Structure 1
Amino acid sequence: MSFEIAIKVENLSKCYHIYDQPRDRLKQFVLPRLQRAVGMQPKQYFREFWALKNVSFEVKKGETVGIIGRNGSGKSTLLQMICGTLNPTSGNIQAQGRIAALLELGSGFNPEFTGRENVYLNAAVLGLGRDEIDARFDEIAAFAEIGDFIEQPVKTYSSGMMVRLAFAVAINVDPQILVVDEALSVGDELFQRKCFSRIETIRKAGATILFVSHSGGTVVELCDRAILLDMGELLATGVPKQIVGRYQKLLYAPAEKRQQLRDEIRQSSACADTYREDISQAGDTRLEACDAQMQQQELQDSYDPALKPASTISYASYGAIIHDPAVYTLGGERVNNLTRGKTYYYRYRVKFEYAASNVRFGMLIKTTSGVELGGAASASSNRTSLPFVSAGSEYMVEFAFCCRLNAGVYFLNAGVLGEINGSETYLHRLIDVAMFRVMSETASIATGIVDFSCVSRIKQDA
């Protein structure tokens, strides 16, 4: 293996045996041997489940690579085999350097030992000597922020305290290779920020990082390159924004179209890989043309019927019913795959079963975690609202908005306010009634959730 390569994975596969009943496991252990002994064809009492199939890739030293994919795609299985806690069915793994794994944090702790004793035990497993642990213990204890509990048995810890201590040990062993599997959600926001900061420090020190997350934004922010796994197969590797965009498209695709989409992703990835084999001036031009073609294909507004919220909440109706909420292009086409920077209409209809006064309408856009990004109302107060609507009337409500959001999935609310007995209240309100996806762009320099269209200017001081 080249000195420049930290991790090399070749044709890696992992097969699990699935038994329908516990007694089938015993049958598989005994009966095939007897069947072979009497000259019979041995029978198989299990089903094969291939968690990984012929996965190959390389990670260079100092590179941060994100692995992304749907649940059950084989991400955690891959990391466990790289760390040596799981044996592959076939294939080879080579790694150069000390590996620190943030996998099932705290799983190796002895509950009867104190936090201090578990620090020494866990750090020794990671390859540190006694003197090294002595020198780093205070830093580990300070990072974990569990105070005097460090001297108490781990069995008295909350799950959060145990995970924080395990994270503190793994993150302070100065690894040459850091493997992270969805471990950055430990503790409160301040502790999470400290974890990200520490990982960034390790990254700047030249360590190799292999990072698994379901958060596309985190992968784009942290990683130099991304790998897309699905159903145990490596579908694509490349620029994080591009790979995250394909992952999101695959995630919300209808089941009947998923295989077709997998083939398209595999084909587009092969197109880019073909041109990257020979990096010449002509090759660069062809590669840019290929990337531009894929980008154009991916950034077309479209409607995905599978992109429907499962978290919709409907308020009780007081004489009004909201229906048919959806996002449309300026040309009137219904869409839920949007392009950053374009203007769209959010429309819904409201039917009034009873007469109402001082009526106004509203909308709100939120992130998947519920952060309210912004919205609008049809009137700022009762003085500018509709003074009266009659029973049986129906209104079309339309809000035009410029999509200044970066790649991700977002949710929409809809609401109608009116007066009942002189008091303003919701006549009807729907939470998470619609959703849309903003597609990823390879060339975008915007970061975070909202694109402020910042323009950078760099000037060297004299």
Structure 2
Amino acid sequence: MSSDVMISAQGIGKAYALNASPLRQMLAQFRPARRTDDFWALRPLDLTVRRGEVIGVIGQNGSGKSTLLQLLCNTLNPSCGKVQVNGRLAALLELGAGFNLDFTGWENIRLSAALYGLSHAETEQKIGAIAAFADIGDFIDKPVKTYSSGMFVRLAFAVIANIDADILVIDEALAVGDVFFTQKCMRFLQSFAEKGTILFVSHDSASVVSLCNRAILLEHGMLLADGDPKTITEYYLQKQYFHQQPQTEQAPVKTGDSAVNQGEFGLKGLSVQTVSVLDSAGEPVFQLHGATSLCLNIQIMAHQDTAHPLVGFSLKDRLGQVMFGGNSADAQGHLPALQAGQSLQVEFDLTVPGLTLGDYMISVAVGEGNARNHLMHHWIHDAYALHSTLTVQSGMLEIPVDRMRHHLLSTL
């Protein structure tokens, strides 16, 4: 295995025998064999993870994400294939996995460190930093069976953050943490990503886009797509909308790898015809130089009678992170019903804050219904490009300060 390959998985898959006797299930652990009535939690796939990659694993519940990570961590035996790992791998999988419920926090830290191969001296050197990172107060002296789910995550993450791992594998565990600890973990992961390798399961596409440099999409136990996070998360969004829509003859949305690079999808009962951004003089805008007022014009056409059209937009940075967005329902604007063949121009007057230097894209969509419950007729990723020339001192946005006040307070 090449020195820059941290994980090499070849043909790994996991099947469970349905309606099998306990004896057959036990024998299957020693002599895996494919049966026609097996349930494949993960279909055989190949995966190579290289040094420095931060891979987001996404997919709906039951798609095989947790099974894949368990196979890569060797906590689950594959039904086929093999996995090679180069380096120390630390994992945060099921909540509380690897902890003895009757042990205290201190005892579980020492137990986990020993399982990861740390010597007694190394553990004692790091145990203070682990306790400080977990920040669970006096509960560290109590058995972990008295912990809340958030405390479990704090202690488990603190351990993997301090054992000098080469590879981190994290399976949705941060979803149960409080916002302050989640932010601490994200800062750690961003720092770790500069020198280590991460596999990260999350339902939060924004976290995948901001943290990862590669993403894979699983569906029904199969590897559906592998590529850059922006493309894969947008494809995942398309798949989610497609599965939620009624399957009619008006749904030409393609599936499979050929759809990954498509910039649009939907039922096409309505369609977006043109998109433009204009300044106060009605001139097209392609560059932003600070906070400004703009008008976003979206022209749509109805290909079928539509009682409740809905038009929306979002502005994203070059990584695909949504900066802000809106729709006609949020703007308290009632759009008229449309008959087939009619067109409608919708104008959004926006006060855009100062955006930090870089490229931005506007995505637009038209549907039928309301903001919470609607059919997606036409979604276009990257429908309009803007470039900001502003240098923001801190953060991603510059918000003008209307007024500053100060008051000198008397000392006691």
Q: TM-score, normalised by structure 2?
A: 0.67
Conserved 8 A contact 2:272-2:301: no
Partner of 1:197: 187
Aligned ranges 1:258-407 → 2 under 5 Å? 264-267=255-258, 294=261, 298-300=262-264, 302-303=266-267, 329=272, 343=298, 375-377=330-332, 400-401=347-348
Deviations 1:330-381 (A, max 9, x none): 58xxxxxxxxx8725799969xxxxxxxxxxx99999xxxx996532469xx
Helix, strand or coil for the counterpart of 1:201? helix
The structure with the largest helix share of the pair is 1
The Cα shift of 1:70 comes to 2.2
Change in Cα spacing, 1:26 to 1:140, as seen in structure 2 (3 Å) is closer
Aligned ranges 1:24-423 → 2 under 5 Å? 25-26=21-22, 28=24, 47-204=37-194, 206-254=195-243, 264-267=255-258, 294=261, 298-300=262-264, 302-303=266-267, 329=272, 343=298, 375-377=330-332, 400-401=347-348
Partner of 2:288: none
Conserved 8 A contact 2:264-2:381: no
Conserved 8 A contact 1:235-1:262: no
Q: Distance in 1 between matches of 2:384 and 2:126?
A: 42
Partner of 1:448: none
Change in Cα spacing, 1:328 to 1:304, as seen in structure 2 (3 Å) is closer
Conserved 8 A contact 2:300-2:366: no
Partner of 1:274: none
Change in Cα spacing, 1:123 to 1:76, as seen in structure 2 (3 Å) is same
Q: Distance in 2 between matches of 1:167 and 1:409?
A: 39
Q: Distance in 1 between matches of 2:214 and 2:300?
A: 35
Partner of 2:32: none
The amino acid across from 2:10 in the alignment is E
Conserved 8 A contact 2:88-2:165: yes
Helix, strand or coil for the counterpart of 1:252? helix
Q: Distance in 1 between matches of 2:252 and 2:6?
A: 32
Deviations 1:418-456 (A, max 9, x none): xxxxxxxxxxxx772437586555998xxxxxxx85346
The Cα shift of 1:252 comes to 2.5
Q: Distance in 2 between matches of 1:51 and 1:70?
A: 13
Q: Distance in 1 between matches of 2:55 and 2:62?
A: 19
Helix, strand or coil for the counterpart of 1:184? helix
Q: Distance in 2 between matches of 1:345 and 1:208?
A: 45
Change in Cα spacing, 1:246 to 1:365, as seen in structure 2 (3 Å) is closer
Q: Distance in 1 between matches of 2:236 and 2:125?
A: 43
Which 5+ residue runs of structure 2 have no aligned equivalent? 27-34, 275-295, 315-322, 339-343, 353-359, 393-412
The Cα shift of 1:304 comes to 7.0
Change in Cα spacing, 1:57 to 1:29, as seen in structure 2 (3 Å) is closer
Helix, strand or coil for the counterpart of 2:87? coil
Partner of 1:454: 388
Once superposed, what is the RMSD of the aligned Cα atoms?
A: 4.6
The Cα shift of 1:142 comes to 1.3
Deviations 1:90-137 (A, max 9, x none): 111111000000111312222221111111111211222211111111
The Cα shift of 1:28 comes to 4.6
The Cα shift of 1:265 comes to 2.5
Conserved 8 A contact 2:313-2:363: no
Q: Distance in 1 between matches of 2:384 and 2:114?
A: 45
Change in Cα spacing, 1:330 to 1:412, as seen in structure 2 (3 Å) is closer
Partner of 1:322: none
> Rg: which structure is higher?
1
Q: Distance in 1 between matches of 2:337 and 2:90?
A: 57
Helix, strand or coil for the counterpart of 1:110? coil
Range that drifts further, 168-177 or 433-442: 433-442
Deviations 1:387-415 (A, max 9, x none): xxxxxxx976996338999799999999x
Conserved 8 A contact 2:217-2:224: yes
Partner of 2:12: 12
Conserved 8 A contact 1:413-1:431: no
Q: Distance in 2 between matches of 1:169 and 1:75?
A: 23
Change in Cα spacing, 1:163 to 1:378, as seen in structure 2 (3 Å) is closer
Change in Cα spacing, 1:15 to 1:61, as seen in structure 2 (3 Å) is same
Q: Distance in 2 between matches of 1:180 and 1:413?
A: 38
The Cα shift of 1:189 comes to 1.3
Change in Cα spacing, 1:193 to 1:261, as seen in structure 2 (3 Å) is farther
Conserved 8 A contact 1:228-1:235: yes
Identity %: 38
